[in-house]
Structure 1
Amino acid sequence: MAWIMLLVAGLFEVVWAYSMKQSAGFTRLLPTLVTIVGMVISFVLLSAAMRSIPLGTAYTIWTGIGAVGAFLVGVAVLGEQVNTMRVIAAVLIVSGLVLMKLSAE
Protein backbone atom coordinates (compact mmCIF):
# COMPACT_ATOMS: atom_id res chain seq x y z
CA MET A 1 0.00 0.00 0.00
CA ALA A 2 2.89 2.37 0.77
CA TRP A 3 4.19 2.05 -2.79
CA ILE A 4 0.77 2.91 -4.20
CA MET A 5 0.58 5.96 -1.95
CA LEU A 6 4.05 6.98 -3.11
CA LEU A 7 3.06 6.62 -6.77
CA VAL A 8 -0.09 8.69 -6.26
CA ALA A 9 1.93 11.28 -4.31
CA GLY A 10 4.28 11.56 -7.28
CA LEU A 11 1.36 11.99 -9.66
CA PHE A 12 -0.03 14.77 -7.50
CA GLU A 13 3.39 16.40 -7.65
CA VAL A 14 2.96 16.53 -11.43
CA VAL A 15 -0.53 18.00 -10.97
CA TRP A 16 0.65 20.79 -8.71
CA ALA A 17 3.68 21.57 -10.88
CA TYR A 18 1.48 21.91 -13.95
CA SER A 19 -1.16 23.95 -12.15
CA MET A 20 1.55 26.20 -10.73
CA LYS A 21 2.66 26.94 -14.29
CA GLN A 22 -0.98 27.63 -15.21
CA SER A 23 -1.40 29.97 -12.22
CA ALA A 24 0.83 32.59 -13.90
CA GLY A 25 2.73 33.39 -10.74
CA PHE A 26 -0.29 32.75 -8.52
CA THR A 27 -2.31 35.46 -10.26
CA ARG A 28 -5.09 33.09 -11.40
CA LEU A 29 -7.33 31.76 -8.61
CA LEU A 30 -8.37 28.29 -9.81
CA PRO A 31 -4.90 27.06 -10.83
CA THR A 32 -3.53 28.51 -7.58
CA LEU A 33 -6.09 26.55 -5.55
CA VAL A 34 -5.34 23.36 -7.53
CA THR A 35 -1.63 23.92 -6.81
CA ILE A 36 -2.19 24.24 -3.07
CA VAL A 37 -4.57 21.27 -2.83
CA GLY A 38 -2.26 19.16 -5.02
CA MET A 39 0.72 20.02 -2.81
CA VAL A 40 -1.12 19.11 0.36
CA ILE A 41 -2.32 15.77 -1.03
CA SER A 42 1.13 15.00 -2.41
CA PHE A 43 2.88 15.76 0.89
CA VAL A 44 0.33 13.86 2.98
CA LEU A 45 0.66 10.76 0.80
CA LEU A 46 4.47 11.03 0.75
CA SER A 47 4.49 11.32 4.53
CA ALA A 48 2.24 8.26 4.88
CA ALA A 49 4.41 6.25 2.47
CA MET A 50 7.52 7.17 4.49
CA ARG A 51 6.13 5.25 7.45
CA SER A 52 7.34 2.05 5.79
CA ILE A 53 9.60 3.15 2.91
CA PRO A 54 13.06 4.53 3.76
CA LEU A 55 13.43 8.30 3.44
CA GLY A 56 16.05 8.23 0.68
CA THR A 57 14.08 5.77 -1.40
CA ALA A 58 10.70 7.47 -0.95
CA TYR A 59 11.96 10.98 -1.59
CA THR A 60 14.03 9.96 -4.62
CA ILE A 61 11.12 8.12 -6.22
CA TRP A 62 8.66 10.94 -5.41
CA THR A 63 10.86 13.61 -6.96
CA GLY A 64 11.69 11.37 -9.92
CA ILE A 65 8.03 10.75 -10.71
CA GLY A 66 7.47 14.49 -10.46
CA ALA A 67 10.44 15.35 -12.66
CA VAL A 68 9.72 12.87 -15.42
CA GLY A 69 5.98 13.49 -15.19
CA ALA A 70 6.47 17.25 -15.46
CA PHE A 71 8.77 16.72 -18.44
CA LEU A 72 6.14 14.57 -20.17
CA VAL A 73 3.32 17.02 -19.42
CA GLY A 74 5.49 19.87 -20.65
CA VAL A 75 6.11 18.10 -23.93
CA ALA A 76 2.63 16.66 -24.44
CA VAL A 77 0.48 19.53 -23.16
CA LEU A 78 2.62 22.66 -23.28
CA GLY A 79 4.52 21.93 -26.48
CA GLU A 80 7.94 22.12 -24.86
CA GLN A 81 11.03 21.11 -26.82
CA VAL A 82 11.97 17.45 -27.22
CA ASN A 83 15.54 16.63 -28.10
CA THR A 84 17.90 13.74 -27.64
CA MET A 85 19.58 15.14 -24.52
CA ARG A 86 16.26 15.72 -22.72
CA VAL A 87 15.01 12.22 -23.57
CA ILE A 88 18.29 10.67 -22.38
CA ALA A 89 18.03 12.66 -19.16
CA ALA A 90 14.48 11.37 -18.57
CA VAL A 91 15.58 7.80 -19.30
CA LEU A 92 18.44 8.16 -16.80
CA ILE A 93 16.02 9.44 -14.15
CA VAL A 94 13.69 6.49 -14.72
CA SER A 95 16.67 4.11 -14.60
CA GLY A 96 17.66 5.61 -11.25
CA LEU A 97 14.13 5.16 -9.96
CA VAL A 98 14.12 1.50 -10.94
CA LEU A 99 17.49 0.95 -9.24
CA MET A 100 16.30 2.78 -6.12
CA LYS A 101 13.15 0.62 -5.96
CA LEU A 102 15.19 -2.56 -6.43
CA SER A 103 17.62 -1.53 -3.70
CA ALA A 104 14.74 -1.07 -1.24
CA GLU A 105 13.65 -4.70 -1.43
Structure 2
Amino acid sequence: MKQLQYSPMLMTEMGISIFAIEKGFMKDVDVAKILDFEAGLIAYMKSEHAELMADIDKTGNYNDQIESTFKAAIEKFKATQTWVDNVGGLATHSLNKSEIQSWPVVKR
Protein backbone atom coordinates (compact mmCIF):
# COMPACT_ATOMS: atom_id res chain seq x y z
CA MET A 1 0.00 0.00 0.00
CA LYS A 2 1.40 3.35 -0.97
CA GLN A 3 -0.10 6.81 -0.70
CA LEU A 4 0.30 9.22 -3.53
CA GLN A 5 2.60 12.14 -2.86
CA TYR A 6 0.68 15.11 -1.44
CA SER A 7 -2.46 12.96 -1.18
CA PRO A 8 -2.55 11.56 2.34
CA MET A 9 -5.21 8.98 3.07
CA LEU A 10 -7.67 9.25 5.93
CA MET A 11 -7.49 6.67 8.71
CA THR A 12 -10.64 4.96 7.42
CA GLU A 13 -9.30 4.82 3.87
CA MET A 14 -6.14 3.09 5.06
CA GLY A 15 -8.20 0.91 7.39
CA ILE A 16 -10.58 -0.40 4.74
CA SER A 17 -7.65 -1.08 2.40
CA ILE A 18 -5.68 -2.97 5.03
CA PHE A 19 -8.81 -4.85 6.10
CA ALA A 20 -9.49 -5.92 2.50
CA ILE A 21 -5.92 -7.16 2.12
CA GLU A 22 -5.71 -8.88 5.51
CA LYS A 23 -9.03 -10.70 5.08
CA GLY A 24 -8.14 -11.94 1.59
CA PHE A 25 -10.59 -9.85 -0.43
CA MET A 26 -7.84 -8.84 -2.87
CA LYS A 27 -6.46 -12.33 -3.54
CA ASP A 28 -8.35 -12.56 -6.81
CA VAL A 29 -7.56 -8.99 -7.94
CA ASP A 30 -4.86 -8.76 -10.59
CA VAL A 31 -1.78 -7.00 -9.21
CA ALA A 32 -1.97 -4.40 -11.99
CA LYS A 33 -5.50 -3.51 -10.82
CA ILE A 34 -4.86 -3.25 -7.05
CA LEU A 35 -4.74 0.57 -7.05
CA ASP A 36 -7.90 0.69 -9.17
CA PHE A 37 -9.63 -1.72 -6.79
CA GLU A 38 -8.51 0.25 -3.75
CA ALA A 39 -9.66 3.59 -5.18
CA GLY A 40 -12.99 2.11 -6.27
CA LEU A 41 -13.53 0.51 -2.85
CA ILE A 42 -12.76 3.77 -1.04
CA ALA A 43 -15.12 5.70 -3.33
CA TYR A 44 -17.82 3.08 -2.73
CA MET A 45 -17.35 3.23 1.05
CA LYS A 46 -17.49 7.05 1.03
CA SER A 47 -20.69 6.90 -1.01
CA GLU A 48 -22.54 3.96 0.51
CA HIS A 49 -21.18 4.03 4.07
CA ALA A 50 -20.33 7.71 4.54
CA GLU A 51 -21.78 7.95 8.05
CA LEU A 52 -19.79 4.95 9.28
CA MET A 53 -16.57 6.21 7.69
CA ALA A 54 -17.04 9.69 9.22
CA ASP A 55 -17.79 8.19 12.64
CA ILE A 56 -14.64 6.06 12.57
CA ASP A 57 -12.54 9.06 11.48
CA LYS A 58 -14.02 11.13 14.29
CA THR A 59 -13.90 8.57 17.12
CA GLY A 60 -11.25 6.07 16.06
CA ASN A 61 -13.65 3.28 17.07
CA TYR A 62 -13.20 -0.25 15.78
CA ASN A 63 -15.26 -3.18 17.00
CA ASP A 64 -16.92 -6.40 15.84
CA GLN A 65 -19.90 -4.54 14.39
CA ILE A 66 -17.65 -2.29 12.30
CA GLU A 67 -15.65 -5.32 11.17
CA SER A 68 -18.81 -7.14 10.06
CA THR A 69 -19.99 -4.00 8.23
CA PHE A 70 -16.63 -3.75 6.45
CA LYS A 71 -16.83 -7.43 5.47
CA ALA A 72 -20.39 -7.14 4.13
CA ALA A 73 -19.60 -3.88 2.33
CA ILE A 74 -16.56 -5.34 0.56
CA GLU A 75 -18.51 -8.44 -0.44
CA LYS A 76 -21.27 -6.25 -1.89
CA PHE A 77 -18.71 -4.01 -3.61
CA LYS A 78 -17.08 -7.02 -5.27
CA ALA A 79 -20.45 -8.45 -6.31
CA THR A 80 -22.03 -5.27 -7.66
CA GLN A 81 -19.26 -2.87 -8.63
CA THR A 82 -16.34 -2.72 -10.97
CA TRP A 83 -13.37 -0.42 -10.83
CA VAL A 84 -12.11 1.52 -13.81
CA ASP A 85 -8.72 2.81 -14.87
CA ASN A 86 -9.51 6.45 -15.43
CA VAL A 87 -6.43 8.67 -15.40
CA GLY A 88 -2.85 7.50 -15.14
CA GLY A 89 -3.76 4.14 -13.65
CA LEU A 90 -5.85 5.56 -10.82
CA ALA A 91 -9.55 4.93 -10.53
CA THR A 92 -11.63 7.89 -9.56
CA HIS A 93 -14.92 6.04 -9.13
CA SER A 94 -16.55 2.65 -9.23
CA LEU A 95 -19.32 1.59 -11.56
CA ASN A 96 -22.32 -0.62 -10.91
CA LYS A 97 -21.93 -3.86 -12.89
CA SER A 98 -25.55 -3.75 -14.04
CA GLU A 99 -24.96 -0.27 -15.50
CA ILE A 100 -22.02 -1.57 -17.50
CA GLN A 101 -23.98 -4.58 -18.78
CA SER A 102 -26.56 -2.20 -20.24
CA TRP A 103 -23.96 -0.31 -22.26
CA PRO A 104 -24.10 -0.91 -26.02
CA VAL A 105 -21.45 -3.14 -27.48
CA VAL A 106 -19.04 -1.29 -29.74
CA LYS A 107 -17.39 -3.38 -32.45
CA ARG A 108 -13.99 -2.33 -33.63
Instruction: Give TM-score scaled by structure 2 length.
Output: 0.28
Q: Which has the higher strand share?
A: 2
Q: Which has the higher helix share?
A: 1
Instruction: Give TM-score scaled by structure 1 length.
Output: 0.29
